[in-house]
Homo-oligomer: A and B are copies of this chain.
Amino acid sequence: MIRRSLAMPKPQSALTRLSALAPLDDRAVAALSDAIAQAQPVRARRELMAEGNAIDHAKLIVSGWAARMRLLPDGRRQLLSFLLPGDLVGLCEQPAPLAVSTVVALTDVTACAAPPAAVSPTLAQAYATSRALDEGYLLAQIVRLGRYTAQERIGDLLLELLERLQLAGLASQGSFDLPLTQETLADALGLTSVHVNRMLQLARKQDSLHWKNSRLTLPDPGRLAQEVGRVAVRVSGEPIRHAFDVRP
């Protein structure tokens, strides 16, 4: 797979995502546009934040992929979540906040300071929804690692990425740019790259996915979701009933 994405960065995807989370008023859009215009480049493999360091400012990912991760003393590495355009990192309200995870750029990234929530109630709302989604995705990651098989982990994660990229307007027809190595995927899925490789081959053979030149296509996301038992993450709106409601 090719690492460096050939696609042009699309600075508007961050705005697309946040607008989808809450209807932003002019003030919010203006503040975001200003901030995005000031975005700074960060090279692949460089850190945007380091675990244990003070957080001076919440950041907004404008383009490129980053990840939250933890390194163990013996060199093992675990990716906690992926950060995509429009994602926020380091949002918190306690005084003197410390980063609870390291944030590393997986591709070349551009990121800017996230405008303060006080700018506009609609922006605060978008941030709140973003935080809630983040939490939902963390929980999904826990379930993947705790109870899913290797194949399910891969399928579920790719579906999640599709879902999230769609929100930012970065996916179409079950297809999107996946600028990761198998090793990075393995670090996110709690597997070895060798095993990820084998399971990917299996998935290709079963026609569950195509992945060539950093372009991933899921020919039938619905079927795949069925197979891995996946439900989309929802954090607001009307309550839903699950098939597995139990114990009244």
**Contacts of A92-119 to chain B: CB distance below 8 A:** 92-98, 100-101
Q: How many of these chains are in the complex?
A: 2
- Rounded to whole angstroms, the CA-CA distance of A233 and B74 in the bound complex is 19
Report A's interface with B, CB cutoff 8 A: 22, 45-47, 50-54, 68, 70-74, 76-78, 80, 92-98, 100-101, 124-125, 128-129, 131-132, 135-136, 138-139, 141-143, 145-147, 189-190, 229, 233-247
Top 3 closest pairs, chain A to chain B, by CB? A146-B190, A145-B145, A93-B128
B129 close to A94 (CB less than 8 A): yes
- Rounded to whole angstroms, the CA-CA distance of A236 and B92 in the bound complex is 10
* Residue from A50, A93, A94, A139 having most chain B Cβ neighbours under 10 A: A94
Q: Give 27 A-B contacts (CB < 8 Å), ordered by A residue.
A: A46-B247, A52-B234, A53-B239, A72-B229, A77-B147, A78-B147, A80-B139, A80-B142, A92-B128, A92-B131, A92-B132, A94-B235, A95-B125, A95-B236, A98-B234, A98-B235, A98-B239, A98-B240, A100-B132, A100-B135, A100-B139, A101-B139, A141-B142, A142-B142, A145-B145, A145-B190, A146-B189
Residues of B contacting A46 in the complex (Cβ-Cβ under 8 angstroms): 247
Question: What does DSSP make chain A's interface, helix, strand, loop or mixed?
Answer: loop
* Residue from A45, A128, A142 having most chain B Cβ neighbours under 10 A: A142
B52 close to A242 (CB less than 8 A): yes
A71 close to B246 (CB less than 8 A): yes
Residues of B contacting A50 in the complex (Cβ-Cβ under 8 angstroms): 245
Residue of B nearest to A74 (CB): B229
